[in-house]
């Protein structure tokens, strides 16, 4: 299986911000979340595995 991901999605993927406090998650762009959910749907993965 071949999976093509747009270059713009790859460039928008890195996490540039952090909440700053302990035990808080990272802040991701909308593009990275949409891309991750698309890959999740294609490979039928649970979110933890993604």
pLDDT tens digits along 10-49: 877 777 666 666 666 677 778 878 888 888 888 898 888 8
Which residue has better confidence, 30 or 9?
Answer: 30
- Measuring CA to CA, which residue among 39, 28, 49 is closest to residue 5? 39
CB atoms within 10 A of CB 31: 15
CA 48 to chain centre: 12
pLDDT computed for residue 21 by the predictor: 66
CA 10 to chain centre: 9
Opening angle at CA 26, ends 39 and 17, nearest 5: 115
- Measuring CA to CA, which residue among 36, 49, 47 is closest to residue 10? 36
Whether the model clears a pTM of 0.85, i.e. scores above it, the answer is no
């Amino acid at each position: 299986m071949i999976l093509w991901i747009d270059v713009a999605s790859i460039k928008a993927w890195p996490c540039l911000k952090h909440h700053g406090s302990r035990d808080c998650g990272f802040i991701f762009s909308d593009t990275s979340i949409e891309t991750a959910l698309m890959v999740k749907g294609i490979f039928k993965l649970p979110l933890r595995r993604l």
